[in-house]
Structure 1
Amino acid sequence: MKNAWRKSWIALACTTLALPVFGLTGVRDTFAAGETYKIVSFGDSITAGYEPEKAPADYYGFVPRLAEQARFHGRSEVNNYGISGLNSTGLEHYIEAVRAGTATTADAVQAGLRDPNAAVFAADVAKVRSDVADADVITITIGGNDLLPLIRGGEVPQDLAAQVETLLKSYASNLGSALSDLREINPDARIVVSDQYQPVPAIKAGTQYATLTQAAAAYTSTLNQVIAAQNAEGGHVEAVNVVPLFAGRETQMTHIMRGDIHPNQVGYEALAKTFAEKIWGEYRTLSAPVPASTVAVVVSGKELNTAFKPVLKNSTTFVVLRDITDALGAELKWENKTSTANIDFGGRSVSIPIDKKSITVNGKAMAVQVPAFTQKTNGQAKTYVPLAVLADGLGFDVQYTSRLRTVFVNP
């Protein structure tokens, strides 16, 4: 939904691990241990996560939040192919290139795109196609840039309703073609598409506020018709209704009072919540704020709630041995003679001696920067082991999300 002259960079959906070592019937919203749940996101600057006066590296839109939500449910991967300034015609052109597996150009996708990602994504359609083919869920936000030329400059044309009716015919055709192409690549994927919120508050729109509200309702109605047609052909397409989230709260949810229509952090959080509730039926949050001195640990979707909080040493997260082996469902054997913890799970093993900078993972020695240690906590002597090394050695997926200060451990 972003103006074409704005620049953006790739909005990474998955935060890199900072620790040094280590619906519809027939469509699944859960996944088995060891499987990776894959989300692929297409759309405009709403998908890209744009906010005014923020560097692209600082974007924190709804897609990165979906990545966080996915980690509460298991192993996951999220690919964000949002292109700022993209309209529905551009989306149709791009998805057609993805379906064909033929590299294209930004101008061929849509003339005038200035988002540098447009060229990158256009040239890399083979990878994008592979991601779509493997996707469990595909999300789409599109259509805002179709309407934007009609209200640019803050002026609402008197014949807005008639112009919206005309552009919605093009929107429906473009979106329908894009959905058909995505379904051809991956017939089993859930495709979740949002409608278009109306960003202009009554204080700015005046007597035209009702007309703008009707235009948003027309978008929703058109989207529902497109989805019904897709599902009649065997599709798994669903709508996310975001219009009510913003109605009457435009100044609280967007940057409109600064002359920008994009969501602020409150708005992006609301979008993420709505998408997550559609995909998983819930929006997870931690039970309590995480102190700066520690991190939260979530194992297989459950918070590690213990009186003995994780300890950070040299950017490595340590947890109490017994707490983490119980949470992982691993077998623990302690050798008093060598002060070594032997942990087994699913045919894999990790041996961690106390105060030694070498551990054994599946029979192979591995150096660690900070050794396991014993310290008194709450009056009790507890053995602390490096979380990432242990969990990864046992075959678990370990991901750190810096914004949540949370380590996610999934089988």
Structure 2
Amino acid sequence: MAPNDSADTNGTAAPGTKGAVAGRRKAVRYIVPVAVAGVAAATIGLVPALASSGDPDLPKITAQELIEKIAASDTQQLSGTVKISTDLGIPSLGGLAGSFVPDGAGDEGSASADPQSKLTELASGTHTLRVAADGPDKQRVSILDNASEYSLIHNGDQVWAYDSKSNAVYHAEGRGEGDAGKGEKRAAPDGVPTTPKALAEQVLKAADGTTSVTVDGTAQVAGRDAYRLVVKPEQSGSTIGSVTVAVDAENGVPLKFTLQPSSGGKAAIDAGFTSVDFEKPDASLFDFTPPKGAEVTEADEAEGHGKAEAEKAKGDLGAFEGLDGMDGMNVIGKGWNSIAEFKTPGGAALPSKASGDEVPAEAQQFLDALGDKVTGKFGSGTVFKTRLVNALMTDDGRVYVGAVTKDALVDAANNAG
């Protein structure tokens, strides 16, 4: 492809207590709207952030050339500090989070260090992380708090997570390729960050003919000279205004990721390196031994407990048969305006006090903060809003979700067969 000032890319848009039995019965009906909010959280992953201090004078480069530079980057060793600020417009869950934890999951000695739940904390606020990587089989991410630290370590077929605050350890063990027949190799759990490059490449998988990609000047991030790659939807109706990736001018590694919503205001995600070193990290960073007195939960044990609780809940919820999956998911539209359509298990509608449901105060407050009542040819429903991902849940149990505006969701529901 001849060099030019912009390029289109092809692919797909990148776009989580113990209690009374009645509480557990009702909890299932809150899962869909809360899970919708979690979709927005899932867009974060590990993407490095802005620390700009000037615009260096660099040789001209086209968008196509810069994309190729990212793809050709073979940098697999780095360490540094990352700052992530996230404002997705999701109200604080507060005490509500416990309403969705299976019985026993919050007890002493439970899987409180499980990365699947811990990493959702990155969905709001500002966090400082220390990161290190030495190839595809060795990564470490530590979330720093005022008086504690949460670390996730991947070393070969071993995955460890440690929460110093609760002195809890989570352990997942896989099997290498030479152990065929003894079990499948276990990769890091979903949501475990690996390298900034992998995440930036996901963003560049924009849908066919719907994306503008340009180079918009230069920046300096964590003391490194970088080009600014700007990705924008060419379609109207998306909640995503632009994605800017600062790319290291020397090695092609993404150093900064900023996602600006189409509604304006502060960035929804502004994450990146404040310091970075591309030398080989110390091997000891990827070694881990559970501290004395720590409660260790094995992944298989945690998964077994979760499945048992799910089966128990299903037994108590006769109206919610089919909890194993959503019925007939369909994708409406393409590119940045893609909308997923599916039915809730058993056609469950949104719980409300008006319909006689027992709705915990925290749950009702959360749902009210997110939801707008809407009507149309489809009937009536509620639109749950974040700054990036919105979802319409109709009163007859259909769900439409995507990184699109409320009007786009209503139109999709009106036109659905």
Into which bin does the TM-score normalised by the smaller protein fall? under 0.3
The structure richer in helix per residue is 1
Q: Which has the larger radius of gyration?
A: 1
TM-score of the aligned structures, taking structure 1 as reference length: 0.25
More strand by share: 2
The higher relative CO (CA closer than 8 Å, separation ≥ 6) is in 2
